[in-house]
Structure 1
Amino acid sequence: MTAQDITRNTAFIRLRQEGRTDEVTRRLVEAIELGLFAEGQQLPSESELAQQLGVATVTLREALITLRQRGLIKTRRGRNGGSFVCAPVEMPEELLLQRLREMSGPDLRDLGDEQTAVSGTAARLAAKRSSHEQHERIAQHIETLSQASSRLARHRADARFHIEVAAAAQSLRLTNAEMRLQSEVGELLWMESAGGGNIMEIEQEHRGILQALTSGDSVLAGALAEAHVTRGIKRLLSLRLELMAEANEG
């Protein structure tokens, strides 16, 4: 990953105004979990990263302390020192299932409504505003998904696809919203029990959205993106009902 890529990815999580430490921490956690900062990558210096994020250095420093405590980054001292992103840890599926059990049906539907609105709007705008270069980046994430061999890798490739579409809409608010939603619900969609093993179907849906973007068909792009999100949320709602039924029988 080049310095230009790092700067570009950092722009995804830049705060619009002076952020509180917990907000800065959340944005950085999302960026690491979604793979915007790669394993082993050295973060920019504190002063440089703070400037890129638009926050005070002391605020960033406090956020980095939390990231170190959570094992997301490690700091090396000395001439070649700095803060480096740690290897990601894939959460056991049972913990993800437990997280799904703890979500209420109305909350999950509400989350789906929000993601449908965000992803659909982003796709419609991206069809009008995106460039050839952005289409190529979106296509790269589709290829990455097709070759992914783990749930975490699939989740990251899927999330990066949606984030890149939002970025192509040239809307920082939509991009930030998509990042938050992908961090909140994205990994649940890739559980085997939620149909996460059906990569080809998801890949085809992604390709359909990209084709609509490249042809400039905003109506089709939005409709395909909304249908894509709706199908995923329906799978989670169905799985949650199965889990609740099993719990009641037990």
Structure 2
Amino acid sequence: MSQQERAGLTALSAVLSPLEGSGPKTEAVVQRLSAAISLGVMVDGQQLPSELTLADQLGVSTMTLREALAVLREQGIVRTKRGRGGGSFICSSAEALEHTASARLQQMSLAELRDLGDAQFAIAGAAAVFAARRGGRADIARLHALTDRLRTSTEPVAARRADSRFHIEMAVCAQSTRLTRAQVDLQAELSALIWLPRLELDPAAEASVHGDLVRAIEREDDAAARELAESQSESRIRRLVALRMELSDR
């Protein structure tokens, strides 16, 4: 199995892990499955696990899962085929994901965006610190590979996937299940927003920050790793808030 395939399995296991908390679960399931698609862990045409299996993996009832699948069908991200050989299949396109993300951004308040940014600031910083203290060679190799993938990305979808996977794998590198699950949830909410074309993120520039971050992790410099992760998170949320304010002025 290639290094890329191992990274995919790691990301998939993180995405399809049980949801935590006691709040509404339907939207959380929608975000998780959207994250799997956004990350490229689930691809166009792929069949989802059976409803019973998927509900068990996410720790929700089958009714909650069916409600989430109905939302994803309305968004054009999932299609369901009945009868023999049937099931639910990924049918997402870059255009559908972009449309959904743009609509969601316009519905969010500035307070919600800043709160989301605060969470990413905290989680990314903590993951960077513990990755520097605990990361192994294989973990760091995955981070290097994802940095290279981001640097050479020529399409927004590929760049978004490499970037999101990087942040999840950094939490994996920190050897913290809770940080990994928290980062998965954050990427489910943030990744499509951060990589909206109108934000004009430069994959090469973002990869340069990732490269500096991985080198700090390699030399076990947790302070530098934290500073880099927090600075990138802060910069991105500022740009996202500015775009949201621009849209509200129209």
TM-score bracket for this pair, using the shorter chain length: 0.7 to 0.9
> What runs of 5+ residues in structure 2 fail to find an aligned partner?
none
Q: CA separation in 2, counterparts of 1:71 and 1:148? A: 25
Asked if residue 210 in structure 1 is aligned to residue 214 in structure 2, the reply is yes
Q: Which amino acid aligns with 1:235?
A: R
The Cα of 1:185 is off from its aligned counterpart by: 3.0
Asked if residue 9 in structure 1 is aligned to residue 12 in structure 2, the reply is yes
Instruction: Report the structure number with the largest CA radius of gyration.
Output: 1
Contact 2:150 2:159 in 1 (8 A): yes
TM-score of the superposed pair, with normalisation by structure 1: 0.77
Aligned pairs for 1:1-250 (under 5 A) are 5-6=8-9, 9-15=12-18, 22=26, 23-57=28-62, 59-76=64-81, 80-90=85-95, 100=105, 103-196=108-201, 198-240=202-244, 247=250
> What runs of 5+ residues in structure 1 fail to find an aligned partner?
none
Contact 1:90 1:152 in 2 (8 A): no
Distance change in 2, residues 1:40/1:215 (3 Å)? farther
Contact 1:50 1:60 in 2 (8 A): yes
Q: CA separation in 2, counterparts of 1:93 and 1:221? A: 31
Distance change in 2, residues 1:138/1:79 (3 Å)? farther
Contact 1:115 1:229 in 2 (8 A): yes
TM-score of the superposed pair, with normalisation by structure 2: 0.77
Distance change in 2, residues 1:56/1:122 (3 Å)? same
Q: CA separation in 2, counterparts of 1:15 and 1:222? A: 28
Distance change in 2, residues 1:61/1:229 (3 Å)? same
Contact 1:12 1:172 in 2 (8 A): no
Distance change in 2, residues 1:231/1:5 (3 Å)? closer
Aligned residues: 245
